[in-house]
Amino acid sequence: MKHLVAPSLLAADFTRLAEEVTMVNESQADWLHLDVMDGHFVPNITFGPMVIEAVRQLSTKPLDVHLMIRQPERYIEQFRNAGADVITVHYEACTHLHRVVQQIKETGAIPGVSINPHNSVSLLEDILEEVGLILLMSVNPGFGGQKFIYNTLLKIQRLRERLTIRNLNARIEVDGGIGLHNAEKVLQAGADVLVAGSAIFKSENPTDTIRRFKEIGGEMRKFV
Ligand code: DX5
Ligand code: ZN
């Protein structure tokens, strides 16, 4: 199956949120990526379940919720009730990651785990079987519009190798600094899901940019 594209709403014009979500609805995007930040785990603060609930009413795409918050276990239910289809927590933000992943599964959402650029994919070795998605941060989380950290390509390759060897079908999602100039490399390294904020919403024709992201080559992989 072809890779997925998940526009990150963080880069959208919030004075025209409904229009931006409608643009995504009418595009070839697969998921809508929503970045929740708490001002503790990351320096920035964005939005919470209330805004996601509103977006849920407008969006026809699955909601891919990326929690950049400490102690996410306190809010899993709320985000699920707000309409999250995928809930990703950070390895660095969970003391009992395995428990949080089970908690996400119990809500019926797809559980995802993310690591920051300085952390090795080997840290996820014992949780791989439990998750539906691994989100590799290719910038330090907190802000859109940052530069892609190229070491991420090696991490994607290593993770792809581990998933293949173990015959696991969790998706590899990559987030931060992705544009039409480097997306092919990211896909060739073994990514399944591309998140892009500025590259889409700040472009002249976001719908067309999404189409171009979808049309980029890259390995074809079969998902379950
Ligand atoms: C950053 C967020 C990203 C962000 C990506 O912490 O997790 O999802 O929106 O934005 P770009 O694509 O502009 O780097
Ligand atoms: Zn994100």
Catalytic residue selected from 35, 38, 64, 192? 35
Would you say 115 and 92 are in contact if contact means Cβ atoms under 8 Å apart?
yes
**Is 64 annotated in the active site?**
no
Point out the ligand 1 atom lying closest to the alpha carbon of residue 197.
12
CA–CA distance, 195 with 115 (Å, rounded to integer): 15
**Range 13-22 contact pairs with CB under 8 angstroms and sequence separation of 24 or more:** 13/201, 17/54, 17/55, 17/58, 18/58, 20/201, 21/55, 21/58, 21/59, 22/58
pLDDT by residue (tens digit) across 122-170?
999 999 999 999 999 999 999 999 999 999 999 999 999 999 999 999 9
pLDDT greater than 50 at residue 30: yes
Evaluate if pTM is beyond 0.85: yes
Q: How far is the CA of 70 from the centre of ligand 2 (A)?
A: 15
Determine the pLDDT at residue 177: 98
User: Which pLDDT band holds residue 180 (cuts at 50, 70, 90)?
Assistant: very high
Q: How far is the CA of 9 from the centre of ligand 2 (A)?
A: 9
pLDDT by residue (tens digit) across 202-223?
999 999 999 999 999 855 554 4
| Protein residue with least CA distance to atom 4, ligand 1 | 144
Average pLDDT across the chain, whole number = 96
